[in-house]
Amino acid sequence: MVCDADTGAVLKQGYAPHPSEGAEPHETDPQSWLLSLGEAAGGGVLEGVRAIGVSAQQHALVPLDAQGATVRPALVGSDKRMQATAADLADALDGGRAAWASAVGTVPGPAHQVTKLRWLARNEPENAARTAAVLQAHDWLVWQLLGRPTRRTTDRGGASGTGYWSAGEGVWRPDLAELALGHPVALPEVLGPSEAAGTTPEGLLIAPGTGETMAAAFGLGVRAGDAVVSLGGSGSVIAIPGRRSGTRP
């Protein structure tokens, strides 16, 4: 979708389906995202565009090896295979569910990346051992658009759904990611909404992007006092609180 930066008016749109492959409905080859993005942006859709922001599904875990190659297909969505893993992980932290809530504002659920890391360690130990870094769907696409630089980035919205980001403190909790995976893993740099992830050789500014729910809140112009309920493949309630998430009254 191409918009006027001053007015927000939609100028052009492009569409492309996501290929559905494999026996597991919650696994996707990230390359299919890149192919679909290229197809949707074809036909001159990006002509005259000066900046790109990527919005993608939340909670996708893209595990990368030390060379930046994907270790396995991305784990996406709220995967029912993760339910028992989430309960196990919640108990693994000293203090249990209350300790998780205090540390990162959430308790591990089937969708969270931290749970998927734990599932990987328990069910695919060889892949877990190869995992040196992790990204989400929009992070990986941004990284690809920039030519796979050494620096990898994400945004606060995406980070807040991982299960190892403290929104209250504004920092990663790498110890929680390590608790889940069994060894340290590289996490992307978290950028603010006005920061750029980088610039392409053609001069296109690439924003850090965000998840689809956060992008919807931005597009709807949600302000303090508003509440939006979104029901579809999952349910979301979007609101702006009077204080930061993860802080006490």
Contact 76, 30 (CB under 8 A): no
**Domain residue ranges in the chain:** 2-221
Percent of the chain with pLDDT over 70: 94
- What pLDDT was estimated at residue 247? 44
- Give the pLDDT of residue 171: 97
Torsion of CA 244, 246, 247, 249, to 10 degrees: 90
CA angle, 85 as apex, 83 and 87 as ends, to 5°?
75
The CATH class of 2-221 is: alpha beta
CA distance 8 to 42: 22
Of 170, 164, 92, 166, give the one whose Cα is nearest residue 134: 164
Residue predicted with more confidence, 22 or 99: 99
| 117, 162 Cβ separation under 8 angstroms | no
What the block records as the tokens of 34 is 């890149």
User: Is the distance from CB of 152 to CB of 141 less than 8 angstroms?
Assistant: no
Picking from 138-152, 188-202, 232-246, which range would have the lowest pLDDT averaged per residue? 232-246
* Distance in angstroms (rounded) separating the CA atoms of residues 133 and 94: 25
Instruction: Provide the token pair at 4.
Output: 């006027």
237 - beta bridge partners?
229
* The pair of three-digit structure tokens given for residue 152, joined into one six-digit string: 């990898």
Question: pTM of the entire structure?
Answer: 0.90
pLDDT for position 243: 63
d(CA 193, CA 66): 28
pLDDT of residue 23: 55
- The helix or strand, by DSSP H or E, that contains position 108, with its residue range, turns out to be none
Do residues 160 and 105 make contact, with C-beta atoms less than 8 angstroms apart? Answer: yes
Residue 209 CA to residue 137 CA, distance in Å, equals: 10
